[in-house]
């Protein structure tokens, strides 16, 4: 879905490379990023399941990674992505609200309840 979205935006499929499970050094820290693409500059977080109590913390982690990667790369993130495979209806609704507010590209798989 993400690749299709980017290709429909006119990005060259030969040059498009989204890396998965990337580890970067940032100062004394190691930064783990689920999805990273340098052109377009994309940062993403992927969860197989997300419960209600985890939503705010997981989104906050993504926003912090965005901030750190903008510092590391010296450029602005074009696409911020959050993908969750399974969740319940209330969490999906909360995620949609946060995604709209924070300009996050949201992918939600199976929604129960």
**pLDDT, tens digit, 9 for 90 and up, residues 11-26:** 888 889 999 999 998 7
Q: According to the model, what pLDDT value does residue 29 have?
A: 85
Give me the percent of the chain exceeding a pLDDT of 90. Answer: 79
What's the half-sphere exposure (Cβ side, CA atoms, 13 Å) at 65?
26
For residue 18, what is the DSSP state? -
Question: How confident is the model over 60-90, as pLDDT tens digits?
Answer: 999 999 999 999 999 999 999 999 999 999 9
């Amino acid at each position: 879905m993400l690749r299709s979205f980017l290709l429909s935006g006119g990005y060259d499929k030969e040059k498009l490379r989204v890396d998965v499970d990337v580890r970067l050094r940032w100062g004394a820290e190691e930064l783990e990023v689920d999805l990273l693409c340098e052109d377009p500059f994309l940062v993403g977080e992927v969860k197989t399941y997300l419960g209600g109590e985890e939503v705010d913390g997981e989104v906050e982690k993504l926003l912090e990674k965005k901030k750190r990667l903008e510092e590391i790369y010296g450029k602005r993130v074009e696409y911020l992505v959050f993908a969750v495979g399974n969740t319940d209806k209330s969490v999906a609704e909360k995620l949609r609200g946060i995604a709209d507010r924070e300009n996050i590209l949201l992918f939600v798989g199976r929604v129960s309840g």
